[in-house]
Copies of this chain bind each other. A is one copy, B any other.
């Protein structure tokens, strides 16, 4: 139960608009997926997510397998029912988190042995287990287990991770639940030829969609887009492309221009909790003393409930007082902004007005990009 259809293609760029059909609904692409790490997109209800414009959300296999455990979620009817989100869900494979968050004990061709950050217990993640956990969660789209490189990495390290990721992709395909759509993942580090090779050989395995992994891990932007271009060059036009963990509004626009269909990132939600709002006029760090008595909304051009109902002065007060409502109102606004951004991109592509970069029709301010990255 998965299909992808491209409805509009830009004449001047590789940007495209598509419809991705899943067991839990249809998704218009390009699409931004909010991150629901532990079975909740932090501070939001599912109803609010829908109101902000969310079509599909991401769940983290690593966190959910450790707590409450994927078997528990399976027994309770799967992740959709558990968290009361009736729409499509994509789950990652846990690979990225195992390599970035856990104390690693051993990485072999068989899989990864690591220490649970919750209780120190020894855990195993193999390609087969990653697929089993995702089957328990019952996500619409499951990702293969990949080996994620630390940055920077040598060519030899990148080559080894590429080969291991391909071998694991084969095992994931074999172990997959036929009810789930499985995406392959392109690795290859920061080496253009390895990126191309990884993409080519992953495509030979014939997945219904392809992700570009291992980017936005500390490399500079020109390098990131060079590696993205190399990866995309070998991917079939007809399949959805998912740029994992990216990114800033500017990155998203540029990647859409290069032909990417799907994005996920903690930027809007994490930055909201840290008091940073994305607006068409630029980033607003709400703790600034200048907002103490500012009666204006976060963004005069934004139609979200936070901007319709609350002043910067009130939002600053909530943030300074560490009130839960601060995280709620800023998260809502930031997700609304990211979804408005991708909706504007879709409209521009459909209407033939897509200009391949920031355009007046897109609610993207001049200094949004650099600010959030500093906070992460």
- Listed in ascending order, the chain A residues whose CB lies under 8 Å from chain B are 38-40, 42-45, 67-68, 72, 75-77, 82-84, 292-293, 295, 309-311, 313-314, 316-318, 320-321, 323-325, 327-329
A82 contacts across to B, CB distance below 8 A: 311, 313-314, 317
Residue of B nearest to A324 (CB): B43
Q: Tell which of B42, B320, B325 touches A323, judged by Cβ atoms closer than 8 Å.
A: B42
Given contacts A84-B309, A314-B82, A317-B38, contact A325 B72 (CB under 8 A): no
Q: Tell which of B72, B316, B321, B323 touches A313, judged by Cβ atoms closer than 8 Å.
A: B72
A309 contacts across to B, CB distance below 8 A: 84
Do B314 and A67 have beta carbons less than 8 Å apart? no
Do A321 and B76 have beta carbons less than 8 Å apart? no
Do B72 and A320 have beta carbons less than 8 Å apart? no
**Bound CA–CA A246/B55 (angstroms):** 44
A329 contacts across to B, CB distance below 8 A: 45
A321 contacts across to B, CB distance below 8 A: 38, 67
Do B40 and A318 have beta carbons less than 8 Å apart? yes
Do B43 and A317 have beta carbons less than 8 Å apart? no
Do A292 and B44 have beta carbons less than 8 Å apart? no
**Bound CA–CA A313/B295 (angstroms):** 42
Given contacts A320-B67, A324-B328, A327-B324, contact A83 B314 (CB under 8 A): yes
Residue of B nearest to A320 (CB): B67
**Bound CA–CA A347/B295 (angstroms):** 42
A328 contacts across to B, CB distance below 8 A: 43, 45, 324, 328
Please give me the 5 A-B residue pairs with the lowest Cβ-Cβ distance, nearest first. Answer: A43-B324, A68-B317, A84-B309, A40-B325, A38-B321
A318 contacts across to B, CB distance below 8 A: 38-40
Do A44 and B76 have beta carbons less than 8 Å apart? no
Do B40 and A323 have beta carbons less than 8 Å apart? yes
Q: Tell which of B42, B67, B75, B317 touches A293, judged by Cβ atoms closer than 8 Å.
A: B75
A58 to chain B, nearest CB (A): 16
Q: Tell which of B45, B76, B311, B317 touches A325, judged by Cβ atoms closer than 8 Å.
A: B45
A293 contacts across to B, CB distance below 8 A: 72, 75-76
Given contacts A76-B311, A292-B68, contact A323 B38 (CB under 8 A): yes
Do B323 and A324 have beta carbons less than 8 Å apart? no
A45 contacts across to B, CB distance below 8 A: 325, 328-329
Residue of B nearest to A38 (CB): B321
Residue among A44, A72, A84 facing the most chain B CB atoms (10 A cut-off): A84
Residue of B nearest to A42 (CB): B324
A67 contacts across to B, CB distance below 8 A: 317, 320-321
A75 contacts across to B, CB distance below 8 A: 293
A271 to chain B, nearest CB (A): 15
Extra inter-chain contacts (16) besides given A38-B318, A72-B292, CB under 8 Å: A38-B323, A39-B318, A40-B318, A42-B324, A42-B325, A43-B325, A43-B328, A67-B317, A68-B292, A68-B320, A76-B293, A76-B311, A76-B314, A83-B314, A84-B314, A324-B327
Q: Tell which of B76, B323, B327 touches A295, judged by Cβ atoms closer than 8 Å.
A: B76
Do A313 and B42 have beta carbons less than 8 Å apart? no
Q: List 8 A-B contacts (CB under 8 A).
A: A38-B317, A40-B323, A72-B313, A76-B313, A82-B313, A82-B317, A84-B310, A324-B328
A77 contacts across to B, CB distance below 8 A: 295
**Bound CA–CA A42/B309 (angstroms):** 17
**Bound CA–CA A193/B111 (angstroms):** 78
A42 to chain B, nearest CB (A): 6
